[in-house]
Amino acid sequence: MAVEYGTERRTHTGILAAAEAASPVESVDVVARELRRRFGATSVSFLITDMTGHAVVRLSTAGEIGSTERAERVDLAGTVYGDVLRTQRLRLADSVDGDGGQRVIAPVTNRGDSIGLLEVRVPGGPDPRTLREISRAAHTLAYIVIANRRFTDLYQWGRRTAPMSLAAEIQHNLLPSALSCEAAQFAVAGALEPAGKVGGDTFDYALERETLHLSVTDAMGHDVQAALIASVLIGALRGARRARCELAEQARRAHRAMLDHSGGALATGLLLRVGLQDGRIELVNAGHPWPLLLRDGEVREIRLAVDLPFGVRFPHGYRIQRLGLRPGDRLVILTDGMLDHYSGSADLPALIAGTQGLHPREAAQVLTTAVLDAHDGDLRDDATVMCLDWYGPRSMRLDADTGASLAQASPAALPSRRR
């Protein structure tokens, strides 16, 4: 075992060193070449998750590593690829051309952020050591993609399976670079529909040593103007947060920025600070819909006092309110687009309760997709959800090979959506 472990560590180190020496555009190719050399792999592909969350896009294919200008969209529904993303577990599949080889599909994930998949076709049946090395190579690939996507549009291009409006282009740049995050005490994830035409909705999070910051905001209006207003709002909130302002001051600065720069437009928002030692939350509600709490299988609204939206030209302040989380709780924060779309068409609390067995990654996706389905894919307003699962102030070990908590991952099958 010591020899095998040392070999695996050298493979991991060698991949990172080779990726550092390569062009950012060719960094994925480094993993492919190493796996072909080590295991005689006949093909290696990186499949990146697309903007919608319903598909992956194959950026490199068998024998043509580096041919990333050609992208193949692969739907996740009912496929082994969808199973791997949900369960965060490596899977074996038969070779598509029946040559006796075996496809190994591994999650490319970092701290719960599901970036995509690594698919390797190897001759014969891979032994446990080979599977372990492929899994670790996939985790290494996550770091390589994260490090190199700052320097190239390749990965952004690969994720775009539908046209992006200017408003959507602005808005997606306001979202956190990782839409999901796992830590010892929590997991959080957000989703937003429609991915290609979004206007004013945003969500954000940031982690400090003892605090998790969350926000969900909704700039009133549509299209580019709403996206520009959202830019002002998010810029003010992030600036105040990074200046270590207390929550009330963050809200005040966001309000001041809206007064000064939004041209009279308004925005609602829910700002939260979660204490990682005790699960106590401080909240500011600036005209925003109430969050929903899933606890012990039951969903209820958290009926917060509602202050005026950001940008209202009337003297007012923002109250700090408090809420306590218990281990096992799920807090769901949403925009009014979710409520409008569900009015008269579905039972949102029932849908939230029905997704309690899913990781926040999939739960948020199921909720926003249900809205999209209920309106036959034609949304008139953004629909945004942020899910926070609270595990409590205890240690939860992330899997070292995959970058995700296997204990908290979703099952392979998603629950059926209610219409």
Return mean pLDDT, the chain: 87
Is the pLDDT at 272 greater than 60? The verdict is yes
> What does the pLDDT read at residue 418?
44
* Per-residue model confidence (pLDDT) at position 196: 60
pLDDT at 3: 38
- What per-residue confidence (pLDDT) applies to 338? 85
For residue 1, the model assigns a pLDDT of 37
Q: Residue 251: which pLDDT band, with cuts at 50, 70 and 90? A: very high
pLDDT average, residue stretch 369-390? 82
**315-359 pLDDT per residue, tens:** 899 999 999 999 999 999 999 888 865 544 557 899 999 999 999
CATH number of 164-408: 3.60.40.10
Tens-place pLDDT, residues 165-193 = 898 889 989 999 999 999 999 999 999 98
Higher-pLDDT residue of 46 and 38 is 46
3-state secondary structure the chain: CHHHHHHHHHHHHHHHHHHHHCCHHHHHHHHHHHHHHHHCCCEEEEEEECCCCCEEEECCCCCCCCCCCCCEEEECCCCHHHHHHHHCCCEEEECCCCCCCEEEEEEEEECCEEEEEEEEEECCCCCHHHHHHHHHHHHHHHHHHHHHCCCCCHHHHHHCCCCCCHHHHHHHHHCCCCCEEECCCEEEEEEEECCCCCCCEEEEEEECCCEEEEEEEEECCCHHHHHHHHHHHHHHHHHHHHCCCCHHHHHHHHHHHHHHHCCCCCEEEEEEEEECCCCEEEEEEECCCCCEEEECCEEEECCCCCECCECCCCCCCCCCEEEECCCCCEEEEECHHHHHHHCCCCCHHHHHHHCCCCCHHHHHHHHHHHHHHHCCCCCCCCEEEEEEEECCCCCCCCCCCCCCCHHHCCCCCCCCCCC
Please indicate whether residue 98 or residue 175 has the higher confidence score (pLDDT): 175
| Mean pLDDT in residue range 367-390 | 83
CATH topology for the 2-158 domain? Beta-Lactamase (3.30.450)
- Enter the pTM of the model: 0.90
Which residue ranges make up each domain of the chain? 2-158, 164-408
More confident residue, 251 or 412: 251
Is the pLDDT at 292 greater than 60, yes or no? yes
